[in-house]
A and B are shown apart, each in its own frame.
Chain A
Amino acid sequence: MFLKSIYNEFIKIAAKPRSYLGLAAVTLLVGVILFAMKADGLSFISFITASFEQTLSFEGNILNGNLIAFLILQMLIIHIPLLVALVTGDLVSGEGAMGTLRLLLTKPISRTKILFSKFLAGAFYTFLIILWLGFLALVVGRIVFGTGDLMVLNSDGLVIIQEPDTAWRFLSGMCVAYLALLTVATLSITLSCFSENSIGPIVSTMAIIILFTIIGTLDVKIFDHIKPFLFTTHMAAWRNFFEDPLPVKEILKSAGILVIHIIVLLGIAVFKFNKKDILS
């Protein structure tokens, strides 16, 4: 019955027009960035490398698919949560608003299993979004701009990653980025359990992300103790894979905090969903 319920949730997501909005938005955004880089990428690169030109000389294809993929991920990873929340924030409350939750919960399957079905379907959708983003950024980026060493400008300075060393870093980085997006998806599903309309959880999710991001960037002492535990602090943890040497401890810490967030949020969602009176 649980597998059938998961299958049901996949069908619902696949049939909903808004599910394709996220994929279309990613395609459009990546398309715009690729076009802009193709048109005027070299001046963008010279702006970045200007400060190093007196000490370093750059040779070869700097504006390559790897750099484009890195820039795309950096630019879009903070906007993708909205596209994820658009679908996952609607999973419970959308059914409540439509009235189908009433019928769904009269079926001989536990509420916990129904919620987990929705979570797994939401997790799969999030995976599809990041997979599509990765495909467009990395595969299409390499096709259009060719390949080469990756030049990353960090706060510590310039890091050059050899071309054969980039693929696994991108893959690993996207796994951590997926974990961050899954945290956002879980947050919106949890908020969805508290709401009777679908717009509330989507807006609330974004509001929480903006609030936590502001707290994370504010240089105020009282926030210093909570900053390391905010999930938004770890949303850019994927970038750690482009450091040299690799900060393994930092990466594991970020992944751990994101996983804890997912577990705690899911626990709250299960508790609330099981207690919820269906009055709609």
Chain B
Amino acid sequence: MAEKIIEVKKLARHFGKFKAIEEVSFDVFQGDVFGFLGPNGAGKSTTIRSILTLIKPTAGEIYVFGKELNRHRNFILGKIGCIVEKPDFYRYLSAEKNLQIFGRISGADISKSRIGEMLEFVGLKGREKDKLGGFSHGMKQRLGIAQALLHDPELIILDEPTTGLDPQGIIDIRNLILQLKNERNKTVVLSSQILSEIELIANRMVIINKGRSVVQGIVSDLLHSEDLVVAFEVDDPVKARQIAVNNFPENEISRIEDKSIRIHLAKDNIPQITKAFMENGISIYSIESKRKLEDYFLKLINN
């Protein structure tokens, strides 16, 4: 089994009577892309801030790289790169100067060429001398990622890293995370509201709700990878539903939306149901595998 990078045990944080987190526990292993999920106000940010020593927990324990967080704070933070919520920088300084400021106290010797390399990596080459006051949110987000990776950390914590990015930016970040995992064996903790993103790149995840960790584990195990949610766009969804019920009575027909019907079924059964539809005169306009995590997440949260 891979080495445990983060171990959070029964973490709690109360602000007066308000319990931001009550009992959050999870483990992150070496090389994981770890999805951190939860609805707004679930306690994601409080948990991430506790791991980064920005907030002192009321109860619970946090171990990072096998060491107790508070006792080895500087050692641990030296190996972490992070973005916490929105990327804020010194508006009156240039992109390059901002990276120099944070690089200087990152625990590593950051050369000017390394800063240039990171700015190029996030697509900000040519803007290094521009002051941050004129940067868009997306550009700041990219700079935030450059800052997080500047000192080549072993653990990267990204809280909503794709917020404000254009579609190309989102794809770039996704590829970057996969590159960090696959080529450099980095561990990435990724908090995001975009469930499809987590589903695409995370191998393990935890879902927290109302300050408690509800479930954690390997994403494919949790989602029963053999099952899919398939949306069929058809001319007659009511008739299609009946056909689906007749052919796969044990399968869940999740819902009918306008001209489409969603069915939980195994990948191997797609040709069979398609054939059944066609034999019964149903016209199929499209077949799409829907985001399964979304269904799983909503079911878990609503329960």
Nearest-Cβ distance from residue A5 to partner chain B, whole angstroms: 5
Docked-complex contact A8 and B101, CB < 8 angstroms: yes
- B296 within 8 Å of A (CB atoms): no
Docked-complex contact A108 and B84, CB < 8 angstroms: no
| B contact residues around A7 at 8 Å (CB) | 104
Residues of B with Cβ closer than 8 Å to A?
A: 49, 52-56, 73-78, 80, 82, 84-86, 88-93, 97, 101-102, 104-107, 147
| A contact residues around B93 at 8 Å (CB) | 11-12, 15
* Residues of chain A from 228 to 257 with CB closer than 8 A to chain B in the complex: none
- A61 within 8 Å of B (CB atoms): no
**Contact A278 B147, CB 8 Å, known A4-B105, A109-B105:** no
Nearest CB to that of B108 among chain A residues?
A108
Assembled-state Cα–Cα distance A236/B78 (Å): 47
Contact of B105 among A100, A107, A278 (CB under 8 A): A107
Docked-complex contact A100 and B90, CB < 8 angstroms: yes
Q: List 28 A-B contacts (CB under 8 A).
A: A4-B104, A4-B105, A5-B105, A8-B104, A11-B93, A11-B101, A12-B90, A15-B90, A98-B90, A99-B86, A100-B90, A102-B88, A103-B82, A103-B147, A104-B105, A105-B52, A106-B52, A106-B53, A106-B80, A107-B77, A107-B107, A108-B74, A108-B75, A108-B78, A108-B106, A109-B105, A278-B49, A279-B49
**Contact A11 B92, CB 8 Å, known A102-B84, A107-B77, A109-B74:** no
Nearest CB to that of B74 among chain A residues?
A108
- A225 within 8 Å of B (CB atoms): no
Nearest-Cβ distance from residue B137 to partner chain A, whole angstroms: 12
Interface residues on A, range: 20 to 34
Residues of A with Cβ closer than 8 Å to B?
A: 1, 4-5, 7-8, 11-12, 15-17, 98-100, 102-110, 275, 277-279
Docked-complex contact A277 and B86, CB < 8 angstroms: no
Nearest CB to that of B144 among chain A residues?
A103
**Contact A105 B75, CB 8 Å, known A4-B105, A98-B90:** no
**Contact A103 B77, CB 8 Å, known A12-B90, A17-B92:** no
Assembled-state Cα–Cα distance A104/B103 (Å): 10
* A-B complex: 4 closest residue pairs judged by Cβ atoms: A99-B88, A108-B78, A278-B54, A108-B74
| A contact residues around B75 at 8 Å (CB) | 108
Nearest CB to that of B157 among chain A residues?
A106
| A contact residues around B102 at 8 Å (CB) | 103-104, 107
Nearest CB to that of A277 among chain B residues?
B55
Assembled-state Cα–Cα distance A164/B203 (Å): 80
Among B80, B102, B105, B106, the most chain A Cβ lie within 10 Å of the Cβ of: B105
Docked-complex contact A105 and B54, CB < 8 angstroms: yes
